[in-house]
Structure 1
Amino acid sequence: MSPKFLVVNCDDFGQSKPMNQAIMHLLEERRVSSATIMAPAPGFEEAAEWCRRRGAVNIGLHLTLNSEFDAVRWASLTGDASLHDEGGHMHKTVEAFERLADTGAVLKELGAQYEKAVRAGLRLSHADNHMGSLYGTATGRSHIPHALKLCAKWKLPFRLFRKVHPGDSLLSGIPGVERAAAKASALAGVLGVAIPDYLLSHPFQAREGETYERFKEELIGKLYDLPEGISETYIHPAVEDACMQEHVPHWKKRVWEYRLMLDDDFAYAMNDAGVTLTDYSYIRTHGRASRIGSAFALARELLRK
Structure 2
Amino acid sequence: MSKRLIVTADDFGRSVEINRAVEEGHVDGILTAASLMVTEGAVDDAVERARRLPRLGVGLHVTLVDGIPALAPTRIPDLVNNQGMFTLDLVRLGTRIFLSKATQRQVSAEMRAQFELFKATGLKLAHVDFHHHYHQHPTVFDLVLDLAVEYGAPGIRIPWEPPLLSYRARGDRLGTRLFNGIFHWGRNRAMASKARARGLLVNQRAFGVNDSGQMDAAKVNSFLDVLPDGLSEIYCHPATAHWDAPRPMPPHYRIDAEYKALIAPENRRKVAELGIRLTTFAAEAAGR
Look up the match of 1:126: 127
Matches within 5 A, 1:186-265: 186-201=193-208, 202-206=210-214, 215-241=216-242, 243=244, 248-250=249-251, 253-265=254-266
**Distance of aligned partners of 1:57 and 1:34 in 2 relative to their CA distance in 1, 3 Å threshold:** closer
- DSSP 3-state at the match of 2:83: coil
Give distance in 2, aligned partners of 1:120 and 1:285.
22
- Is it true that 1:146 corresponds to 2:143 in the alignment? yes
Cα displacement string for residues 8-40 of structure 1 (whole angstroms, at most 9, x for unaligned residues)? 011100111211121122233353111110112
1:28-67 deviation per Cα after TM superposition (whole angstroms, max 9, x unaligned): 3353111110112111122123333555662111111122
Distance across 1 between alignment mates of 2:250 and 2:242: 13
Q: Deviation of residue 249 (structure 1)?
A: 2.2
**1:72-87 correspondence to structure 2 within 5 Å:** 74-79=68-73, 80-87=76-83
Q: Which residue pairs with 1:27 in the alignment? A: 26
Describe the shift of the 1:163–1:285 C-alpha distance in structure 2 as closer, same or farther (beyond 3 A). farther
Give CA-to-partner distance per residue, 1:60-84, whole Å, 9 cap, x none: 11111122xxxxx634434311111
Q: Which residue of 1 aligns with 2:9?
A: 10
- d(CA) in 2 for partners of 1:56, 1:272: 22
SS, match of residue 250 in structure 2 = coil
Residue ranges of structure 1 left out of the alignment (5+ in a row): 68-72, 207-211, 288-305
Gap change, CA 1:199 and 1:242, over 3 Å in 2: closer
- CA pair 26-106 structure 1, distance change in 2 beyond 3 A: same
Q: Aligned Cα RMSD in Å?
A: 2.7
More displaced, 104-113 or 26-35?
Answer: 26-35
Structure 2 residue aligned with 1:294 = none
1:63 aligns with 2:59: no
Q: 3-state DSSP class of the match of 2:5?
A: strand
Q: What is the CA deviation profile of residues 161-213 of structure 1, one whole-angstrom value per residue up to 9, with x for unaligned ones?
A: 6884632366642344222222222111221111112222242245xxxxx8x
Query: Would the aligned equivalents of 2:65 and 2:90 in 1 still touch at CA under 8 Å?
Result: yes
Contact 2:136 2:188 in 1 (8 A): no
1:278 — aligned with what? 279
Please, what TM-score do these two structures have when normalized by structure 1?
0.78
**Distance (Å, rounded) in 2 between the aligned partners of 1:242 and 1:40:** 18
Q: Distance in 2 between matches of 1:190 and 1:252?
A: 36
Asked if the contact 1:10–1:234 (Cα under 8 Å) also holds between the matched residues in 2, the reply is yes
> Structure 2 CA distance, aligned partners of 1:279 and 1:125?
8
How many residues matched?
269
**Residue pair 1:163, 1:181 contacting (<8 A) in 2 also:** no
What is the percentage of aligned positions where both structures have the same residue?
21
From the superposition, tell whether residues 76 and 90 of structure 1 become closer, same or farther in structure 2 (CA, over 3 Å). Answer: farther
Match of 1:179 in 2: 186
Check the 8 A contact 1:205/1:250 in 2, yes or no. Answer: no
The 8 Å contact of residues 165 and 200 in structure 1, kept in 2 or not, is answered as no
Report the secondary structure of 1:81's partner residue.
coil
Any gaps of 5 or more consecutive residues in structure 2?
98-102, 168-175
1:95 maps to which residue?
A: 91
